[in-house]
Chain A
């Protein structure tokens, strides 16, 4: 069974700094998707960024980028120029290409301080 591990339960940085959230996963599949979701205090699940495993190029979305290391099964999220609105719980998630189930990590609570 696939597993996703986020080893940083909490992180805290100053506004405008860059922060990197770690995620590792375990799978025997070769085709899959990886995601980072943001959950602000409103509890809404918001997709931040998505990476297809077959793509070698790392995904980017404005201030958000990933470092996808397929051989190491690592998928970290970098937030540049962090903002107060980035304060949230962040979840790393995995989806097998042949399935519809998201497998989530434990989450990292990120606090951006003014």
Chain B
């Protein structure tokens, strides 16, 4: 089954404790991205990756890091989480330029930073 998986689905952590949210897709998609969802703001792009070893900032990259060492994986790293990073996070992937509108979303990760 074609899908995007994220882990963990729920995470409660404390300020300053480094964490990683994993994202994996099994569709050989070139393009992957991370979004955060906040009430009243919709979803906003954090980072994206056009291919292996190619990443770039989205609209709200502060406080986040990403890496793309393998085509299928695109982890989101919070090296020193703060309460304002409490949010719902989504990973998404697409084939690329041929069908950019075919975005596949993961199930979401609910992160709470206390």
Q: Does A pair with B?
A: yes
Q: Which residues of A contact B (CB under 8 A)?
A: 4, 6, 9, 33, 35, 42-45, 47, 50, 52, 91, 93, 95, 97, 99-102, 104-107
Which B residues touch A9, using CB under 8 A? 40
Give every chain A residue within 8 A of B110 (Cβ-Cβ): 43
Total count of chain B residues near the partner, CB < 8 A: 25
Interface presence of B19 (CB below 8 A)? no
Residues of B58-103 contacting chain A, CB below 8 A: 58-59, 88, 90, 92, 94, 96, 100-101, 103
Is A102 within 8 A of B103, CB to CB? yes
Q: How many residue pairs bridge A and B at CB < 8 Å?
A: 55
Whether B108 contacts A43 by the Cβ 8 Å rule is yes
Task: Give the interface of B toward A (CB within 8 A).
Answer: 31, 33, 35, 40-45, 48, 50, 58-59, 88, 90, 92, 94, 96, 100-101, 103, 105, 107-108, 110
| CB-based closest 3 A-B pairs | A104-B42, A45-B105, A104-B43
* Chain A residues with CB under 8 A of B40: 9, 106-107
